[in-house]
Chains A and B, each alone.
Chain A
Amino acid sequence: GQQVMQIPQYQHVQEGEDFTTYCNSSTTLSNIQWYKQRPGGHPVFLIQLVKSGEVKKQKRLTFQFGEAKKNSSLHITATQTTDVGTYFCAALKAAGNKLTFGGGTRVLVKP
């Protein structure tokens, strides 16, 4: 079945630095979504990417969908303590109703 691999599993970042988390699939994806889960909370939708090569920005967050629609990345610039949490990518199977989640990247920020 479809698997979504997310790396790294953990990311320790110095406040003010940039980092990137990656999401890879073995199959072509219909679309990809990104979620953020704060410690003790529930996942909250950030963005959805649909088109090949699509790039979307939300303030300090930049999301990219690969040309082959098999991978995606989330880049955060100038990390702040509010960025702490786990970031999940989630892929939609073609013509399906189910999202398959990656294992998440747990981000810790060092002040």
Chain B
Amino acid sequence: SQTIHQWPATLVQPVGSPLSLECTVEGTSNPNLYWYRQAAGRGLQLLFYSVGIGQISSEVPQNLSASRPQDRQFILSSKKLLLSDSGFYLCAWSRGGGELFFGEGSRLTVL
């Protein structure tokens, strides 16, 4: 069966510090991978998606970046965090346009 792992689950970072969130998928190959952000009590905003290794599409301009160094690994990064980067970050995978399977999420607080 397929599983998705995302870490860390929570982190508190000072403004201007770097960020790295990691997501891995097991039990499937060549998945579509996604990073979403959810502000408190709000909807899901698509940040990045990838249909293959090294292929990243960005949905919104921001100081975040994503990379896919391996087929089932998706990384969300920032060189310098802003206060507005606080939120709940969700990694997800899918087969084509099918249902999304979400990770447990990473709750980021930037102080």
Chain A residues near B (Cβ < 8 Å)? 6, 30-31, 33, 35, 41-45, 48, 88, 90, 92, 96-104, 106
Report yes or no: B44 in contact with A43, Cβ–Cβ below 8 A. yes
Q: How far is the CB of A103 from chain B (nearest CB, A)?
A: 4
Known interface pairs A96-B97, A101-B36; 14 further A-B residue pairs with C-beta atoms within 8 A, sorted by A's residue number: A6-B43, A33-B100, A41-B104, A42-B90, A42-B103, A42-B105, A88-B43, A97-B32, A97-B51, A97-B97, A101-B45, A103-B42, A104-B42, A104-B43
User: In this assembly, does B74 line the interface, its C-beta being within 8 Å of a C-beta of chain A?
Assistant: no
How distant is the Cα of A30 from the Cα of B96 in the complex, in angstroms? 13
Query: Which among A6, A42, A43, A106 has the greatest number of chain B C-beta atoms within 10 A?
Result: A42
Q: In the complex the two chains form, is A106's CB within 8 Å of B41's CB? A: yes
Within 8 A of A (CB), among B82-102: 90, 94, 96-102
In the complex, which residues of chain B have a beta carbon less than 8 angstroms from the beta carbon of A96? 97
Sorted from nearest, which 9 A-B pairs have the closest CB atoms? A103-B43, A101-B44, A42-B102, A45-B99, A92-B97, A42-B105, A104-B43, A43-B102, A101-B43
Partner of A98 from the list B49, B99, B101, B104 (CB cut-off 8 Å) is B49
Q: Is the interface of A mostly helix, strand, loop or mixed?
A: strand
Among candidates A43, A102, A106, residue contacting B90 with C-beta atoms closer than 8 Å: A43
- Counting residue pairs across A and B whose Cβ atoms lie within 8 Å, the total is 55
**Bound Cα distance A99, B45 (Å):** 10
Say whether B41 contacts A99, CB under 8 Å: no
Given contacts A42-B105, A88-B43, contact A99 B51 (CB under 8 A): no
Closest to A101 in B: B44
Contact of B49 with A48 in the complex, beta carbons under 8 Å: no
